[in-house]
Amino acid sequence: MKVAERMMRIPPSGTINMADKAIKMEREGHEVLHLEVGEPYFDTPEHIKKAAYQALKNGFTHYTSSRGIFELREAISKDLKNREVEADPNTEILVTPGAKHAIYCACQATLNQGDEVLVLSPSWTTFYICIQAAEAKPVEVPTEEGYSLNEELLKERVTSHTKLILINSPNNPTGGVLTRKEIKVIADLAKDYELLVLSDEIYDRLVYDNFKPTSIGSLNEMRDRTITINGFSKTYAMTGWRLGYAAANKTVIEAMQRIQQATTTCPASFVQMAGLEALMGPQDCIERMVKEYNERRKVIVNELNKIPEITCPTPKGAFYVFPDVSSVKMTSSKIVEELLKKEKVCSTAGSVFGSFGENHIRFSYATSVEIILKAMEKLREFVEKLN
Binding site for ligand PLP (CB under 6 A): 38, 98-100, 124, 168, 172, 200, 202, 231, 233, 239, 244
Cβ 322 to ligand PLP shortest distance, Å: 13
Cβ–Cβ under 8 Å, residues 161 and 192: no
Contacts (Cβ under 8 Å, ≥6 apart) of 68: 93, 94, 95, 96, 245, 266, 267, 272
**Looking at beta carbons only, is 102 or 336 nearer to ligand PLP?**
102
**Looking at beta carbons only, is 44 or 168 nearer to ligand PLP?**
168
DSSP letters, 62-128, are S---TT--HHHHHHHHHHHHTTT----TTTSEEEESSHHHHHHHHHHHHPPTT-EEEEEES--HHHH
Cβ 346 to ligand PLP shortest distance, Å: 15
Cβ 364 to ligand PLP shortest distance, Å: 9
Cβ 178 to ligand PLP shortest distance, Å: 13
Nearest to 10 by CA among 156, 165, 185, 130: 130
Cβ 308 to ligand PLP shortest distance, Å: 30
Length of the chain: 387
**Looking at beta carbons only, is 202 or 349 nearer to ligand PLP?**
202
Q: Which residue is nearest to ligand PLP (CB)?
A: 98
**Looking at beta carbons only, is 101 or 380 nearer to ligand PLP?**
101
Cβ–Cβ under 8 Å, residues 255 and 173: no
Cβ–Cβ under 8 Å, residues 190 and 197: yes
**Looking at beta carbons only, is 168 or 174 nearer to ligand PLP?**
168
| DSSP β-bridge partners for residue 246 | 94, 229
Cβ 17 to ligand PLP shortest distance, Å: 14
Cβ–Cβ under 8 Å, residues 333 and 351: yes
**Looking at beta carbons only, is 126 or 148 nearer to ligand PLP?**
126
